[in-house]
Structure 1
Amino acid sequence: MSEKRFSEDVCQYNYTKERLWERSYLLVKCAELHLEEEYRLYQARLWSSFLGVFCLLHVLITIAHCVILLLTCDHIHMIIADVVIYLATSFVILTILGINFCENFARRHSWITYMSSVVAALAFVSADIFQGTYHYYTHDWALDTFYDTYIIYIIYMFLPMPIISGALLLGVTVSVVYITYFGIYIATEYYMAYDYARFSVYIVHHVCFNLLGMFFRIMNDIVVRSSFLDRHQYIMEKIWLRNARRQEKLVLHSIIPPQIAKPIQDDIQNRLARKVRGLAARRSPGVMENVMAIQIHPEVSVLYADVVNYTHLTTTVNVEKLVRLLHDLFVRFDLAATQFEVQRIKFLGDCYYCVAGLTPPSPDHAKSCVGLSLSMITHIQEVRREHEVPINMRIGVHSGSVIAGVIGEAKLQYDIWGTDVTIANHLESTGTPGFVHVSASTLKELEPSEYTIIPGTDAALEDPVLGKNNITTFLISAQTSHHSPSRSLERIDSYADIDIYARPDIYRSKTINEELRQEFRMMPVCSFKQIFSCRKRNQSIDLPSPGVTKFCLVYRDSNLECKYLHSPDLMFKYSMLLAWSMGCSLAYIQLLTQNRNLLLEAIVLDAVVLTCLTVLLVISWYKKFCWLRYGNNENDRHRFGKLSCWIFRTSEKIQASLSLRISIYLFIICAYNSVICIVLDQDQLVAASKKHEEHRGGRRGGVRRGAA
C-alpha cells in the first residue's frame, strides 16, 4: 500500500508503519502473494505444537488438582468420584486431541481439527457440570464450577482451531453453558431472588475472559502472519540473490575460467567483509600473483574464424545493419560453442577465436573444434541467405599446447599465447572460405572417415610461419560431409535448443515455489521437539543463529536484546483497547457489588481510572481514526490542528519509548488493583456472608468448593 502522508505547516502524519501491523492488511497481503494455503499448513503445525504444550500442562494440572483434593478435603469418600471423573476426562480429552498429532491425516481432513476441539471442550464442560450436579442431588452441595475459566483459556490458547470465529463460537457456547448452570444451581442458592445485578456480574466475568481470549488470538494471528510474510520476503530475496550470483558467475566464467575467477571473487568478498567490520579493505596478499600465474595446457585445439568480405561490407552497409548482422552471427557462434563445449576467448573485430580442451580438459578437443567450425559455416550461410549479403567464413584449427592467463589490473582480460596459437591464426588466414583449414596434428585427433578431406591450400605452402614449423595442412569440406556427426550441422536458434532448462542459472517459478514450500516447512514452531533438536532446525537456514535462549526466548547478545526491547510497539493501541474494556467491566462490577458506605469513593475512583484509560485509548487510536477518515485519498491533505498534532506526537513517543509503556502498564495494573480492593472490602464481604446465611435458611448446609 502506498504511503499515506499528510503534511501541513503544523505537523506531519504518517500511518504506514502501523498499517503493516493490522490484520486486514496482512490478510490482503497473504492473498496477493498466494500464501494462504502455505500459511494454513504452517498454522496447523503451529497449533499442533501448542497442543503438545497443553497436553503436558494439563496432565500436571490434573494431577495437582486431584492431589490437593485428596489432601485437603475432610470427606474423602465423597470426592473419590470427582477424582475418577477428572482423571477419566483428562484421558478422554488427550485421546481425542491426539488425533491432531497425525499431521498427514489432519491435513487431508481439516474438519478433524475443529471436530476434535469441539468434542474435547464439550467433554470437559460436561464432566465439570456433571460433577457439580452430582453433588447437588447426592450430597446436597451447591458447588461452583472449577474449570470454567480454564476451559475458556485453553479454547483460545491451545485448541487447534485456526479460524478465529470458530474459537469465538466455541468459547461463547461454553460460557452460555456455565452461565446457565450458575443461574440454575448457584444463584438460586447464594443470592436473593431476582438479583439480576449479581447474575449480570457473572455474565460480565465470562464476557471479559472471552475478550481476553480474542485478544490473544488476534494478536497471535497478526504476529504469526507478519513473521510469515517476513520469512517469505527473506526466502525470495535469498533466491533472487542466489540467482543473481549464478548469473554473475556465468558471465564471469564466460570471460575468465573458474579456476582463475575464484581467487578474484574470494578477494572481493574478503574486502567487503573487512569493510563491514570497519577494517581497511585491503587486497589479500598474493591474489594477483595467483591470477597472473602462467597455466600451461598441453593438449588443446585452437580455432580462428574470420568473416570474409567484412571490409567490403563496412563500405556498402550502414553501421546499424552491420552491427546487427555481426550480433546475430556471433550469438549463433556462442550458442554453438556452448553446445560443442568450446570456450570462446574473445572477438577481434570480425575475427572469432576460441579453444577446446582448456577447462575442463577433454580428449575430444579436436573433434569439438572441427564440429563447431562446420556448424559456424552452416550458420553463416544461413545469415548470408537471410540478410542477402556476400559473406563467408574462413576457419583454421590447430592442436597443440598453449599458455593461458589473465592480464590487466583495472580491466582483466583472459587470453592465450604460444606458437600453436600463432599457427592456428595463420591456418585461418591461408584457408579457403567455406572450408575448415586444419593441421596434421589436428587431423590425427579425428576419425578421417567421418569427414571429406582434401589437401591444403597453396597459400599454406608458401606461408613462412607454417613452413618454419613444418605444418602440413588439410581442408575439411562442409558441403559433402555426409559422415559428420548430426550435431555439427544442427541449427541452434535459441537457448532452448541447447537444453537451457538443465542450467541452474535460469529462473523457474516451479522450482522457486517448491523451495518456498520447503523453507516454510522448516520454519520453527517452538515445540518441545524443536527445543531439544534446534541444531537440526538451524541447518536449513542460511543465516547464522541469532543466539536465542531455548526457554525464555531472550537474545544471548545483550546489544540485540536491548535493541529488540527498544523497538517501537506498533500494536500498542490494541492493548489500550483491551485495558479500557477490562476497566469498564471492573467498574461495572464494583458499582453493582459496592456497599453504600463506600459508594462515593468507588464512583470517584472509577471516574479517575476510566478517564485516564479513555485518554490513553483516544491517544492510541486517534491516528487510526484519522487514517480511516482522510487516508483513502492521497491528494486530500487535511489540515490538523495543534491538538491533533500533539496527539500524533504523543502516540509516536509512547510507541517508541519502552519506559513510557512500562509506566502506563504499571499504572493500569495499580488502577485495577485499587478497584478490586474496594470490591473485596471486608465490610462488603461480611454483609454478603450474612445475607448468604440468612437466605440459605438451613435447607442446604453444603460445603462450597471450587474457584471461578
Structure 2
Amino acid sequence: MQDDSRDCVELNTTNPKDLSHQTRDINQNGKQNERKGTHKDNNSAQNGGKQPSGSGINQLNIELGIAKTKKSPEPLQACTSLRTTNPTSNGIANSSLPEASEEDNTISCVRKCFQSSRTNHDCSEAEPEIIEVPERQSARIRRNAASGACRCYQAVRLGFLQCLEDTPFVVPGLVLIILFCVTIIVVIAARHLTGHVGPLAVVCVVLCLCVPLLVCLPCLPSLRRCEQMLALSIWFTLFITAIVFIFTDKVDTPWEQVAFFLFLSLSVYTILPLTVWWAMIFGIGASVCHIIIISVIVSVNHPRPRDVAVQLVANVVLFLCINCVGLFHLWLTENGRRKSTMSRETFSYNRSKRATQKRDQEHLLLSVLPRYIAMELKGEVVKGLSSTFTGAENKPNFHNLYVKQHKDVSILYADIVGFTSLASTCTPEELVVILNKLFGKFDDIAKKNECLRIKILGDCYYCVSGLPDPIPHHARNCVKMGLDMCTSINKLREATGVDISMRVGVHSGNVLCGVIGSLKWQYDVWSNDVTLANRMESGGVPGRVHITEETLGNLGGKYQVEEGNGASRDSALEGRKTYLVIDPNTQNSKDSKPKVNNLATNSRPKQRASVRMSQYLQSWKSINPFSELNRTEESIAVPISPTSDIGQSQEDTESANHQPYTYYQENRRSFVSENGSMQSLDPLDVSGTKTKKLNWLTLLFSDINMEKQYLQSEVNDMHQSAACLALIFTAIFTVQMLTSQKNTPLAISYGVTLPVQLLILLVISIGFLKKWNTKIPCCMKWISLPYGLITKSVLRLFLVFTCLLITLLMAILNIVFIPGDNCLSVSNSGTALDDLNLYSVPYYLYCCLMAMLGVVVFVRVCFSVKLFLLTLALVVYLALFLYVYAPRSDCYIMQLYNRSNTSGVLNEPKLMSGIWLCVFYIACLILARQDELACRVEFLLEKCFEKEREEMEMTENVNKLLLKNLLPCHVTNFFIGKNVPNQDLYSQSCESVCVMFASVPEFKEFYTEDSVNKDGLECLRFLNEIITDFDELLSKPKFNVIEKIKTIGTTYMAAAGLTNPTRGEERKDSDACKHNVRSMVDFAMALMGRLENINRHSFNNFKLRIGINHGPVIAGVIGAHKPQYDIWGNAVNVASRMDSTGILDKIQVTEETAHVAESIGFVVTKRGIVNVKGKGQLTTYFINTEPSLQHS
C-alpha cells in the first residue's frame, strides 16, 4: 500500500484551512467527508509535510484536485491535466469561484481516483461521494454534448454561409445538379427500366462527384479558390452526360435532349466564371455539337426528312435565342460589374485624396491652435453647418466664447532690440527668412522649455508656460527660455556683427486664454498679469531677463538675481520690485549692454548686415512652417482600402476581369452576418454607423423609406431588357410556326397579342428614346411623352407584369390547336396516327422554358414578382403537360415506339417536361435572386457612396471654414494641394496695400478682474461680441479685398490689397491704391457704426480710435511649431502709430493717404504736426465721418 501510493501521486503540503475551503467548493453535499479529510490533512501537516502510507490521505488529496502526477497508472491518467498547487501562490485556495470546466475536470478526476481506490478496499469513507459524482458527470456530459453540437452547427453554418459568399453560383448549381441526378435515378428505378444502364451509371458518377464537392466546399477554402476549374469540370461532366443520353436512347428524335443542351448553354453564361468570348465559345460550341450529332444520327434513321429539317431549324432558333439571352445576361452583369468597379476605384481615389487633404488641413489647424480649442471650434462649425442645411438655425443672443481661465502660469515677453534698423536694409525675401529662422529657433527653445508660444507681434515674441496643462515649475521654464534666447542672440551678434540684442520680461500670475472673434483665430492670453509682463519687457535691459517678485518667489532659489530697478525705465512699474536674473553661464553679468564684435564687422565691410545675418542663420536647423504638409503626389494616388471590400486594388480589378460573375460575389461579400441575415454594406464609414439591412429571404430593405427610394429610382437599362424579351417572344413564335400543323389559329392568336406586346415594349423603351429627344423631329416629339409615366414604379411594374404574362401565356396557348384528343381512337390505324405530327409537343415545352427565362431578363423587377410569375407558370405548365395534354404525349410515345408503352424515360415528353420545368424553375429563381441582390446592393452602394460623399463634403466645408478663419485663402492654397518643397517659405511683396489699426482704448478701464466679472471672463465676452461683429462685416462683398490680420488686445488689424487680382480685375497701381483706400475707409466707418449699435444695446459709450496708412508691405508665414501669417513694412508701422497717436471717434491718416482719400470723394481735415515714435514729426489728417453715409 505504501509503495502504491508513492507510485501514484506526490502530495504537496497545503494550508489545512485552505484545503477545507476548497473541499466545500468542490462538493457542498459531502460535509462529513470534508471534516474527516481536513482532520487527516492536519495530521499529515503535523508530521512535517511527510505523507503517511495510507490510502485515505492519498484519496483526500486527489479528491481536492491538488495531486501532481509522476508516473501514474491508467486509472489516474485523468489527473495529469489538473493544475498543480503551489504552496507559495496558493492559487486554489484563493479561487473561491472556480470555472465550470475546472470543476468538471476535478469531479471526473475524483471519480476515477475513487474507482482506483476501491480496488484496494480502502475507501469506505468516500462511498457517499461515489453516488453523487456519476449524476453530476451525466449532467456534464449532456451539457458538453449539447454545447459541442451547437458549436458544430455554428461552424458548419458559418462555413456554408462563407461558401455562399465566395461561390454564389457554384453551390446552388451543385444542389440543382444533385436534385436532377436524384430525380433521374428515382424515375429509372420506379419505372423498372433496365435498359438504361448507361445513363444510370453516368448519372451515378455525376452524383458521386457533386455530393463530396458540396460537402467539402464549406470546409476547404483552398478548394473554393479553384472555383473556375471546379465549375468547368462539372460542366464537362454534364456535357458528357447529355451526349450519353443521346446515344443510349432506343429511338433518335431531333428534339432529343434539347432542353439539356439549352441548360448547358445557359449555364455557360450565368454560372461558369468565364469571360464573354470564352462563354460564347463554350455556349455556341455546345449548341453546334447538339445540332451536328442530331443531324447525323436522325437524318439516317428518320423516315420523314421534311420533319427532320423543320425540327432542326427550330432547334437552331432555340439555341440562337438561348445564347443571345445568356450573352445579354452576361453583358449586363459585366457592364454592371465594370461600372461598379470603376465607381469604387474612383470613389476610393477621391476619398484617399480628400483624406490626405483633410489630414493636412487638420494638421494646419492643430499647428495654429491647441487641440482642445481646435476641436471645440471644429465642433461648433459642424453644428453651424448642419443647422444651416436643415434650416433649424437658431441664433443665440451672444456669440460663443472659447476662453478659459488658467492659474499659476508664467508669461514671457521678448523684444529684439535693434531689429527695426536691420529690417530696413532687408529685401522682402530676406526679411521673411530672417524672421522665420529667428522665431523658428525661439519656437524650438520654447518647446524644449515647455513653453507655449502665443503670438508674434512684429519683432516681439511672447509665450506662456503652464498652458494648456499645469506645470509646477512654470517660472523656471520661462526664465530658462529667456536666458536661452539671450544666449542665441548674443552668439548671433558675435558671429555677424549686427547690433541686435534681446530684452526679456517675465511675470507669473493668472491668465484667460483662448480665441475671440469669428475670423482669423489666434490663440491669445488676456489679464492684468499679461499687461504687467509686457511692461516688464519694455522696462527691461537688453541682454537680460527682467522678472517680477512673483516670478522670483516661484523660482525656489534656482537662479541668482540682482536689483532690476524697472520703475526707472517704465513708469508703469512704479512701486514694484523687479529683478534681473544672473545667467549662470555668464562670467560678467554686470555688463548689461552687449558689445558688438567690431572684428566681425570690419572683416566683411562690403556685405550688408542682412546678408551676414541670412548667411549665419542658415546654420540654424529650424523647421519651416507647415513642413509636415508637404507630400508627393504618389502618397495621394494610393487608394485607401475601405471596409466591406468596397475599395478594389489594381490586382483585384485585373483578376475581376477574368471572372464575370465577380460582380455578384464582390457586392454580396460582407452581407451575410453571423446570424444568417443579409447584412448591408458599411463602406468607408470610419464613424462606425451602420446602414440599412436586406431581408435574407425576400431581399427587401428593412427600412421602408429605403425600399421606396429603390422602387422609385429610375431604371436606365429597361429598354435592353425589353429588347431581349422581344427576341424571346419572336423565337417562341418562330418555333411554334415551324412545328405546328395548323398555323391559321396560331397566326390569329399572335396577330392579337403581338401588337399589344410590341406597344408595351415600346412604352417600356421610352427611357432609351428619351436620350435622343433633341434629335427627334418635331413631328415625332410625342414619342417622349410617356417618359414621365415610365419613371413611376407602379406603372412600370404593371407594364412589365403584363408583358411577361402575355409571353408566358403565348408559350402554351396554341397547344390546344394540336390534334390528338382522339389519338386513342385512331391508335389502331398507323397511318392516321402518323399524320397527327405530335412532335410539336416537346417544342411547346421548350417554348415554355424560354418564356420562363424571359422573366429573368428584367433585372430590376422585384424578386417577389418574379417568384410569383415563375411559380404560377410552373404550376400551370405542370398541370397542362402532366394532366390536361398528357394524352398527346402518350400518343406521341405510341407513335415513336410502334404503339408500345415501353418507352424510355429520357425520351418521354410528359415525364421530361416535369423534370425540366422544375430544373429551369430553380435555375431562373437562382438567377433572379442573384440579379435582384446585385441591383439592390448596387443601389445600396450608391446610397452609401452618396452619404459618404455628403459627409466628406461636409468635412471639407468644415475644414475650409476653419482654414478661412486661420489663414487667407490664397495662403492656404499655397500650402495645401500643391507639392511645395520643404525649403520654400511663403513670402509676397505687395504694393499699395492699405493697413488699418482700430482700437477701443476705453476697454482697459472697463476690464476688471473681480468675482462679479468672473475674473475678467465676462469682460472678454463683451470684447468677443465687438470683435465678432467686426468680423461679420468682412462677409459683405464690398469688403472682399480686406483681410483681417489679427487682434492685439483690443486692437483690430486689417489690410486691403494683399491678394493678387484675378484676370479681368487687374488695375494700375494708382487705381489699385484708390480702390484699397476706399474699401478700407468704408470698412473703418462701418466698424464705427457697428460699435455704435453695440453701445445702444449694451448701454455703453465705447469709441473707436482708427489709424490708416497705405504703401508697400511684405506678407509671409513664419514660425516653426505655430505658423503665423503677418505683414511687415513701414506702412504697417506708420498705420500703428496713426492709431496710437489718434483721437477717439476719429480716423487718422498720413498726408499721402489723405490725398488719395480726398481724390476719391472723402472729406479730410488737417490735424497738424504730430510727433510719431520712430518717424519724428509727421503731418496727419482726419477723415470726416459725417458725409461717409453716402459710402456706407
- After TM superposition, the score normalised by the length of structure 2 is 0.44
Q: Does 1:192 align with 2:323?
A: no
Please say if 1:551 is aligned against 2:665: no
User: Given the alignment, which residue of 793, 798, 806 partners 1:658?
Assistant: 793
Question: 1:439-493: per-residue Cα shift (whole Å, max 9, x none)?
Answer: 8969998999xxxx9987977695574982453413488999xxxxxx9984125
Please list, as runs of the form range in 1=range in 2, the aligned pairs for 1:276-291 lying within 5 A after superposition: 279-281=392-394, 288=400, 291=402
| 2:695–2:701 Cα contact (<8 Å) kept | yes
Match of 1:560 in 2: 706
Residue in structure 2 matched with residue 525 of structure 1 by the alignment:
668
Which residue of the other structure, out of 307, 323, 346, is the alignment partner of 1:210? 323
Q: Which has the higher contact order (CA 8 A, sep 6+)?
A: 1
Q: Residue 1082 of structure 2 corresponds to which residue in structure 1? A: none
Are 2:628 and 1:492 equivalent residues in the alignment?
A: no
The aligned counterpart of 1:122 is 236
2:697 maps to a residue whose letter is F
| Equivalence map 1:588-599=2 (5 Å) | 588-596=734-742, 598=744
- The one-letter amino acid paired with 2:460 is C
Counterpart CA distance in 2 for 1:198 and 1:620 is: 38
- Cα pair 2:486 2:544 within 8 Å, conserved: no
Q: Does 1:89 align with 2:232?
A: no
Tell me how far 1:225 sits from its aligned partner.
3.3
CA contact (8 A) 2:167 2:227 kept: no
The residue that corresponds to 2:640 in the other structure is 515
Cα distance in 2 for residues equivalent to 1:52 and 1:155: 15
Q: Work out which of the residue numbers 253, 257, 263 in structure 2 matches 1:144.
A: 257
- How far is the alpha carbon of 1:275 from its aligned partner? 5.3
Q: What is the CA deviation profile of residues 598-629 of structure 1, one whole-angstrom value per residue up to 9, with x for unaligned ones?
A: 264267358636854785698555466x59xx
More helix by percentage:
1
May I ask how many residue pairs the two structures share in their alignment? 624
Instruction: Please give the per-residue CA displacement for 1:87-131, whole angstroms capped at 9, x wherever unaligned.
Output: 542453576797899778987xxxx55443322211221133324
CA contact (8 A) 2:565 2:579 kept: no
Deviations 1:627-670 (A, max 9, x none): 9xxxxxxxxxx8652145443x3474355232443343234324
Question: What is the Cα deviation at residue 346 of structure 1?
Answer: 2.0
1:220 is displaced (CA, Å) by: 1.9
Please give the per-residue CA displacement for 1:506-541, whole angstroms capped at 9, x wherever unaligned.
788548736236563687525784473766964973
2:202 and 2:267 mapped to 1: Cα distance?
Answer: 19
Question: Residue in 2 aligned with 1:159?
Answer: 272
| Pairing partner for 1:702 from 895, 899, 903 | 903
RMSD: 5.4
Checking the alignment, whether the CA contact within 8 Å between 1:461 and 1:467 is kept in structure 2 is: yes
| Alignment counterpart, residue 715 of structure 2, candidates 569, 572, 575 | 569
Q: Shift in Å at residue 578 of structure 1? A: 1.0
Superposition deviation, residue 187 in structure 1 = 7.4
CA contact 1:406–1:415 (8 Å) conserved in 2: yes
Q: Deviations over 1:214-246 (max 9, x none)?
A: 222222223333334444455455555655554
What does residue 748 of structure 2 align with?
601
Match of 1:347 in 2: 456
SS of alignment partner, residue 680 of structure 1? helix
Please show how residues 644-683 of structure 1 align to structure 2 within 5 Å: 644-647=780-783, 649-650=784-785, 652-653=787-788, 655-673=790-808, 675-683=810-818
Does the 8 Å contact 1:215/1:578 carry over to 2?
A: yes
Gaps of 5+ in 2: 1-160, 589-616, 648-665, 822-835, 839-890, 917-1192
Task: Tell me: CA distance 1:60–1:113, structure 2 relative to 1, closer, same or farther (3 Å).
Answer: closer
Q: Tell me, yes or no, if the aligned pair for 1:524 and 1:530 is still in contact at 8 Å.
A: no
Alignment of 1:367-446 (within 5 A): 370=480, 374=484, 392=500, 394-396=502-504, 398=506, 400-406=508-514, 408=516, 410=518, 414-417=523-526, 421=530, 424-426=533-535, 428-429=537-538
- Work out the CA distance in 2 between the residues paired with 1:75 and 1:602: 42
What is the TM-score with the length of structure 1 in the denominator?
0.69
Q: Give 1:393 shift.
A: 5.2
Return the match for 2:405 from 282, 286, 294: 294
Matching residue's letter, 2:462? Y
The C-alpha deviation readout for 1:193-212, integer Å capped at 9, x for no partner, is 25222112112222222222
Distance 2:255 2:799 in 1: 42
Identity of aligned residues (%): 16
Residues 24-103 of structure 1 aligned to structure 2 (within 5 Å): 49=165, 51-56=167-172, 58-59=174-175, 62-63=178-179, 66-67=182-183, 69-70=185-186, 73-75=190-192, 85-93=202-210
Question: CA separation in 2, counterparts of 1:554 and 1:516?
Answer: 28
CA contact (8 A) 1:378 1:489 kept: no
Q: CA deviation at 1:74?
A: 1.8
- Structure 2 CA distance for aligned equivalents of residues 489 and 438 of structure 1: 31
Residue 329 of structure 1 deviates from its aligned partner by 5.2
Distance in 2 (CA, whole Å) between partners of 1:384 and 1:685 is 121
- The residue type equivalent to 2:261 in the other structure is D
Question: What is the SS of the residue equivalent to 2:416?
Answer: strand
What's the offset of the Cα at 1:148?
A: 3.1
Alpha-carbon contact 2:563-2:579 (below 8 Å) kept: no
Q: Secondary structure at the match of 2:645?
A: helix
CA positional deviation for 1:558 = 2.1
Asked if 2 retains the 8 angstrom alpha-carbon contact of 1:397 and 1:424, the reply is yes
Q: Give the distance between the partners of 2:295 and 2:721, measured in 1 at CA.
A: 32
Following superposition, the deviation at residue 595 of structure 1 comes to 2.4
Change (3 A) 1:595 1:77: closer
Task: Determine helix, strand or coil for the equivalent of 2:731.
Answer: helix
AA matched with 1:641: P
Instruction: Give the alignment of 1:233-312 within 5 angstroms.
Output: 233-236=346-349, 238-239=351-352, 242-243=355-356, 246-273=359-386, 279-281=392-394, 288=400, 291-296=402-407, 298=408, 300-312=409-421
Change over 3 Å in CA distance of 1:514–1:672 after alignment to 2: closer
Q: Which amino acid aligns with 1:404?
A: L
Q: Secondary structure at the match of 1:515?
A: coil
- CA 238–496 in structure 1, closer or farther in 2 if over 3 Å, else same: closer
CA separation of 1:395/1:640 partners in 2, compared to 1, >3 Å: closer, same or farther? farther
- Indicate if the aligned counterparts of 2:479 and 2:545 stay in contact, CA closer than 8 A: no
Q: Aligned equivalents of 2:165 and 2:455: distance in 1?
A: 59
Task: Assess, with a 3 A threshold, how the Cα gap between structure 1 residues 218 and 252 changes in structure 2: closer, same or farther.
Answer: same
Inter-partner Cα distance in structure 1 for 2:287 and 2:219: 28
Aligned partner letter, 1:394 = M
CA distance in structure 1 between the aligned counterparts of 2:512 and 2:633, rounded to whole angstroms: 36
Helix, strand or coil at the partner of 1:653: helix
The aligned residue for residue 174 of structure 1 is 286
Q: Tell which structure's C-alpha radius of gyration is larger.
A: 2
CA distance in 2, matches of 1:518, 1:526: 11
Given that residues 680 and 692 in structure 2 are in contact (C-alpha distance below 8 angstroms), is that contact kept between their aligned partners in structure 1?
A: no
Contact persistence 2:764–2:790 (CA under 8 A): no
SS in structure 2 of the partner of residue 344 of structure 1: strand
Which of 837, 848, 862 lines up with 1:688 in the alignment? 837
Q: 1:439 to 1:193 in 2, by over 3 A?
A: farther
1:351 Cα deviation after fit: 1.7
* 1:402–1:122 distance in 2 versus 1, CA, 3 Å: same
Q: 2-side partners of 1:521 and 1:339: how far apart?
A: 43
- Whole-angstrom distance in 1 between the partners of 2:509 and 2:300: 107
Q: Which amino acid aligns with 1:66?
A: V
Local SS of the residue matching 2:453? strand
Task: Quote the Cα distance in structure 2 between the aligned partners of 1:142 and 1:576.
Answer: 29
